[in-house]
Amino acid sequence: MKKTWRLYRAVLGILPTNARRFLVGYATALGFLAMLDAGALGLLAIVIAPIMSNAPLSLPIVGTIPNDFLIYLLGLVCLLIIVKSAVALGLTWRATRVFAGYELELGSRLFDSYLQSSWVDRLKRNSSDVVRLTDGSVAMTIASFLLPATTILGELLSFFTIVVVLAIAQPL
């Protein structure tokens, strides 16, 4: 794990200067969306049984919620899921554009270093290998290494949200 963390930090050092800030913001936004999603699904789990049985909802901290108000809670669940989906769509749209810029900049740096190398080093590789290396490996590093690491915060916050919902709905 320590080696992976060191490698992650080394890759972040290679990225453009604003990439670290964007990745932190991206991970934070994904965490917020995970909390929103888990909260909405937790609220749905709490509300669905009383709606099906036509009984009032009784929560330990909140108290008793009448049947008439349960439909509004169900509407709130729907609204939360729609808002979460819209924000996730916008976040994905923004991230694809930003990461494409990072890929372009890193690929340009790799290609420039190839052009600045000696003739002897350049003759060792053919041009199709250089293009494949600068294009594919940068995209693979970002898509397979950097982006999955940004979901860790979301997973932790989702777990925390589920524990809180369970503590409210079914306290020990």
**Amino acid, res. 25:** G
Give the 3-state secondary structure of residue 64.
strand
101 CB-near residues (< 8 Å, 6+ apart): 16
d(CA 84, CA 79): 8
Residue 84 pLDDT: 94
Helix (H) or strand (E) holding 58: strand 57-59
pLDDT (0 to 100) of residue 32 = 92
Tell me the CA end-to-end span of the chain in Å, nearest whole number: 35
Other CB atoms within 10 Å distance of the CB of residue 118:
7
Mean pLDDT by 10 residues, the chain (172 residues): 83 82 91 90 86 82 81 91 95 91 81 78 72 74 81 87 79 68
Q: What pTM was estimated for this model as a whole? A: 0.77
Distance, CA of 126 to CA of 128 (rounded, Å): 6
Rounded distance between C-alpha atoms, residue 151 and residue 31, angstroms: 7
Burial pattern 32-51, b for ≥16 Cβ within 10 A else e, equals bbbbbbbbbbbbbebbeebe
Domain coordinates in residue numbering, the chain: 17-169
Supply the pLDDT for residue 172: 67
> Three-class SS of residue 148?
helix
